[in-house]
Each structure stands twice: as structure tokens, then as C-alpha cells.
Amino acid sequence: MEIHIQALTNSKGTKVLLTAFLLIAVFHSAPLRAATKAYDRPEYLQIKKRLIQGWGTWNARSVLSPTLLPDGFAVNVGFKQLNWLGYSYLGQELIGRRGDDVERIRPGLHALDGSYSELELSWQHAVVRVESAADGANLVLLVTPQNELKLPVSVVLGGEMLWNRPGQLSRHDNVIIAKLPSREVRLYVTGKVIEDPYVQTHTPYLVVALDGPIALSTGKLRSIQEVQQFIARKRQAMEDRAAASGDLKETYLAVESGLAWNTIYEPKYDRVVSTVGRLWDEEYGGYALFGWDNFFLAYISSLYSRDWAYANFIEHLRSMTEEGFIPNDDRGNGTKSWDHSQPPVGAIMLKEIYKRYPERWLLESSFDDLLTWNRWWMKARKNGNLLSYGSDLSKNPLDQPDIHTKVTAGYESGMDDSPMYEGVPFNPAKNTLELQDVGLNSLYVADCKALGEIATLIGRAAEAAELRARAQQVSKEMDRLLWDAQTSTYLNRRTDLDSLSYRLSPTLFYPLLARITDSARAQAIVREHFFNPAEFYGDYMLPSIARNDPSYPKQRYWKGAVWPPLNFLVYLGLRNYGLQDAQEQLVTKSRAMFLNEWRRNGFVCENYSAITGTGDDPRLSSDEFHSWGTLMGFMSFIEAGKMPAPEAPLQASAGAGLH
């Protein structure tokens, strides 16, 4: 900023005014760049521009609606089956729907950039394989029947303009034409086109009999063989990228696909973002971002792409509430969980993303939001000398009906109905559960330490000292109040009873993530509990409550099932103390469960049975395609040294000073 000053008088008043003007000018010029929100930074706007391009499964409402960005032109793939009474029609397809007459989709490979995808659809009497491939503005799609059809089935290919984007659609002969502001797209199809006026779509469409393979292509009419060759090239390119992972090739492909199938374009904020699942996006009014889930997804994305990692992290920061916390959920209908947050893992994940792609502007533009959230915990959730999960009052009429209760306080933990919280009262005066939580306090210390390292690197010395002091104080209080020498572990403490709680979950290992304890205690915790078959050790681990807990046989939700974020956070803690045997076993067993379900069903599960190791155990309540399930495979890349070591301190690098 250039400042021109003209001397006025030598009066004391003028000097004061001039001094004030100078201070204001300096204040507004020096920190302006650092204070800009991450999602408004020019560096990020360039990332968005690169990502919002080309064909992909960007339409949150259907996985069979290839969409061209940034235009918003989509080709919707529907199915019509005739029967004696009339017909059945399937116009939008999603993975994991529940019910007797719904479509069943087995997802296959899917590249994050949209260059290749495959799935198998079972609906009514039809089983079809659908593959797509894209290169720039060119799209091809192949629909191949996999069974002999008992009743006539046709494929309905309809052009659509999504999100109220401008464009003119028409059909000329057997070609659909989209005239868009920046280009024209022509859609061709092979096969027998049927003139069927009774189709549940309101835009130009083509109906093709499913009596053999059907090939769709843009730009020009391509034969079945040409489309097959196009698809084969793109699939091979995806597999060639994965081959660099060696023995982890299959895991690499499965993790990428687990992200890609749930990555959408979100029009309200003009962004692409990975979500936990499209069923959640549909239920929540267009998109659903969750407090700790989406920070994990940003880190997982860093295995594949700087742009995807940065975008997923930055777009999640956009969810922050006016009160200064990242909400449990941020929904497409405009609502959020205004009364409660979720575990503070953002700074921990940011550190790791930065290590892989070190650009200082990301730290600078994210720091203040993360610091505000860190301070919020001490302001809103302090219960005695430690933290407890809780829920606030909210004046928003759209907030969920059970705010300021034990239910939403449990949601803040991310472990909703964990047996740890059974019998624990909610104190409305404190806005918290009467439980000083080992998991929360450990993650808070880890958050303070991660933010402190970031503060030091970007020159925020005062904040770094503040964060170190808080980490030390909470660690000291955990040692004083939560360490139990008799059981060799940290235990939750009932503040209403002034006694320790012996309901054990994997959060008892979180002090290792925060480096709160010494090596001798860390080894004792792992020896007495991790390797204890009555508690956590076994073929399928880690159960979300100890195996000898009375709730464990239920397995439903957090009552015993294996949850990917718990395994992941415990794994990071084991690395801090060099507990090689434990960390290798956890990685190997997690990957085995993950790949088993991927091979059996194409599932990437929300949680897994600690009894059978499967994701479809009837005792479970588990989404069959939930993006954070990829954590179970992602750990393998850290263990194999293909990602920066999480236990290593944050350091400036040659790229760190670039803006």
C-alpha cells in the first residue's frame, strides 16, 4: 500500500490524528493477505478453476448422470422396464439405497479426475455394467447387459441443464444437441432408438432398446469397438498410476474410488468437494459435510493430488459457525448443527497435508479459523480443569429438536451412542456431559501442539506460546485427574461422582497421539489393553468398546463395531512411541477388512463388525459406501513410507515461502 501524507499544522491534535492515520494504514496493509479467508485466496481460486472442469459424476443426485463442468450439462442415464401392468422407471441411481425394490449398485474403479468409472447396476430384472471414460470435453459411456432379460428393458438417455445453468437442449434425429454459452456438445448413441413418448423426463431424450451393448459418445458417433478402446485406455492409465504403489496397487485404487464416487460439484458455493456419502447429501438437501469426517477426507486426498487435498480442507473450513467452531454437520438446506461441534482434528490433518504439499499460504489463511475453534473449546466446553463434550442452546428455529441434551452432546464426540456415555448425565448449566473425556482432552492437546507448530512456522510467536501453555496445562491435569495406575491407562472421569469410569474404548490410546505420557506408560497402555484379547486385541480390531463390555455383543453402531477414524487416530499415536508391532498389526488387519469388503461387495464401509470383520453383518448399522472407510486402507501408505511421517515435526521447506 502506498501512503501520501501532507503536513497540515504542528498542532498537537493534528499530530495525534496523523499518527492514528498511520497506524490504521499499517494495520490494514500488513496483515491483510494473511487475514484473507482461505476460500477467498487467489491461490485457491486458481485451484477451483482447475478442478471445476470436464466430465465426471459431479451430480450429487445420481451416479449415472455424467456432468460437464463448468457448464452444468448432464447426460442422465435412466432405465425403463415394461411389465404386464405398465412399466417401472428408474431415473436417478445412488449407491447403498435401502429397501426391497430399489436399485442395487456395486461400485467399481473411479478416478478422482473423472477420467474413468465403472459400476454394476441390478434393478428389477436387469443387471448391467456401466463404464465411462472422459478426456477433456469428450465423453464415452458403455452400457452392457449382464444377464438375459425376462422383460423388455430400455435405456433412457436424457440431456439436462443442472443448477439453473444457461443452455439450450434439442434433439435432431438421433442426436441430442446442447448449445452452451461457451461451446456446443452433441450426443450420439449406438443401438436401436425407440420412439417412446411415455418417459418420465421433461427434456430431450433418446430411448434405446437394451438388447445388447449401447455406446454413447460426444463429439462424433463412435462404434462399440471405438468406445471400448477409449475406455480401455483410460482404465489402463488409472491402473498404471496405481502400479507405482507396488503391492499396495489394489489398495490405492480402492481408496481413490472410495473418495471419487462421493465427490460432487456443489453449486451454492461453486466448488467440488468430497463428501462422506451421496445418501447423506440427498437427505441433507444437496450436500453434507461433517466435523471430523471431512478433515480426514482432505488428508486422504493428499495421497492423490495437492489440488484435491487443499480444496477439501479449505471448503470444510467454510463451514465454521459465527460462534467460532466447526459444526458436527453443515447441510445443503442451509442449516448446521449450531449447538455442537465435533472432535478437533483439523490442525492435525493440516500439518500432514502441508508436509506433503508445503505452501505457506495454506497455513497462513487457515490458522486464524483453527485458532478460533481451539479457543472456543476452552470457552464453551470447560468442565472443571478439563474439557467435556456438550451442546449449547440455540435460537435458530431450524436447529434439530434435541439440542442442549445428552443426545447432541454425544453427537459432538463423533461417537454418538458410545457405551462410555451410558448413565452419564447432561448438565444444562454447564452445557456439558458430566464426564471429563480422555479422547477429547487428548485430541485438544494434539490440536494445541499442531497449531503451535504452525504458529511458529508462520511467525505467530505470541499465539504459539499461548497454545504451548494450554497444551501443558491440559496434559498436567490429565495426568493428575485421569491417569489410573491400577489399570495402567487414562480413564474418563465422572465429574458428578468424582470417580473414574471403567467403560473402555479406543480413546484410551489417544494420549499417545497427543504425546502426553512417557514411553514407559505408553508401553504399559499398549501391553495391558491393545494386546489384551479380553479388551481390544483380535483378528478384527479395534472394537469401539472393549470386548468384555456388556454392550459389545450388540455391535450396532458405536457399541462394539470397528470404526475407521478410531483405528486411524490410534495408529498415529502408536507411531509417536515407535510401537512397531502394534502399529503393523493394526495397519495389516485394517487393510484386510477394507479390501475384503471391497472385493466381496464393492463396499467402503462406515464401520465393520469386530466379530466377523464384515461390513454387512446384520448386527451393524453401517453405510455400505462411506468415504471415511478409506482410512482403513490409507494407513498402509503411511506405514509403507509413501506419505510423510506424521510423527515428524513440522518444518519450513523450499516451497513453504511461496505465495
pLDDT, average across residues 483-487: 98
Q: How far apart are CA 141 and CA 130, in angstroms?
A: 7
pLDDT, average across residues 113-136: 97
Of residues 28 and 230, more confidence is placed in 230
Q: How far apart are CA 189 and CA 174, in angstroms?
A: 7
Residue 619, classified by CB atoms within 10 Å of its CB into exposed (0-12), middle (13-18) or buried (19+), is middle
DSSP class per residue in 499-527: EE-----GGGGHHHHTT-S-HHHHHHHII
Q: How far apart are CA 424 and CA 172, in angstroms?
A: 67
Query: 324-339 pLDDT, tens per residue?
Result: 999 999 999 999 999 9
Does the structure show a pLDDT above 60 at 16?
no
Of residues 34 and 211, more confidence is placed in 211
What residue has cell string 478416478? 111
Query: 53-81 pLDDT, tens per residue?
Result: 999 999 999 999 999 999 999 999 999 99
- Report whether 548 contacts 538 (CB < 8 A): no
Residue among 313, 297, 247, 343 at smallest CA distance from 640: 247
Does the structure show a pLDDT above 50 at 465?
yes
pLDDT, average across residues 217-230: 97
And the C-alpha cell for 143?
A: 452400457
> How many Cβ atoms sit within 10 Å of the Cβ of residue 333?
12
CATH code of the domain occupying 348-503? 1.50.10.10
Does the structure show a pLDDT above 50 at 499?
yes
And the C-alpha cell for 74?
A: 448432464
Does the structure show a pLDDT above 90 at 501?
yes
Residue among 115, 211, 218 at smallest CA distance from 159: 218
Distance between first and last Cα of the chain: 18
> How many Cβ atoms sit within 10 Å of the Cβ of residue 236?
11
pLDDT, average across residues 156-170: 98
Q: How far apart are CA 387 and CA 47, in angstroms?
A: 37
Does the structure show a pLDDT above 90 at 24?
no
- Amino acid letter at 91? G
pLDDT, average across residues 97-117: 96
And the C-alpha cell for 361?
A: 499460504
pLDDT, average across residues 348-355: 98
Residue 481: band (very low, low, confident or very high) from pLDDT cuts 50, 70, 90 = very high
With a CB cutoff of 8 Å and minimum separation 6, the contacts of 246 are none
Q: Residue 132 carries which DSSP code?
A: E
Q: How far apart are CA 164 and CA 39, in angstroms?
A: 23
Q: How far apart are CA 583 and CA 531, in angstroms?
A: 11
> How many Cβ atoms sit within 10 Å of the Cβ of residue 455?
23
Residue span(s) of the chain under CATH 2.70.98.110 come to 58-243
Q: Residue 488 region, left (φ>0) first, then alpha (ψ -120 to 50), else beta?
A: left
Residue among 118, 122, 161 at smallest CA distance from 141: 118
CA 467 to chain centre: 27
Does the structure show a pLDDT above 90 at 428?
yes
Residue 141's φ and ψ, nearest 5 degrees, are -145, 135
Kind and range of the H or E run holding 134: strand 126-135
- What is the per-residue pLDDT for 35? 61
pLDDT, average across residues 392-396: 86
- Report whether 452 contacts 444 (CB < 8 A): no
Does the structure show a pLDDT above 70 at 633?
yes
pLDDT, average across residues 372-394: 97
With a CB cutoff of 8 Å and minimum separation 6, the contacts of 245 are 251, 252, 637, 642
Query: 245-281 pLDDT, tens per residue?
Result: 999 999 999 999 999 999 999 999 999 999 999 999 9
Residue span(s) of the chain under CATH 1.50.10.10 come to 348-503
Q: How far apart are CA 241 and CA 465, in angstroms?
A: 43
Residue 488's φ and ψ, nearest 5 degrees, are 55, 50
- Report whether 565 contacts 631 (CB < 8 A): yes
What residue has cell string 508436509? 355
Does the structure show a pLDDT above 50 at 177?
yes
- Amino acid letter at 505? S
- What is the per-residue pLDDT for 389? 98
- Report whether 644 contacts 352 (CB < 8 A): yes
Q: How far apart are CA 141 and CA 154, in angstroms?
A: 15
Radius of gyration of the chain (CA): 27
CATH code of the domain occupying 58-243? 2.70.98.110
Q: How far apart are CA 431 and CA 538, in angstroms?
A: 38
Residue 398: band (very low, low, confident or very high) from pLDDT cuts 50, 70, 90 = confident
pLDDT, average across residues 146-162: 96
Q: How far apart are CA 118 and CA 199, in angstroms?
A: 26
- What is the per-residue pLDDT for 397? 77
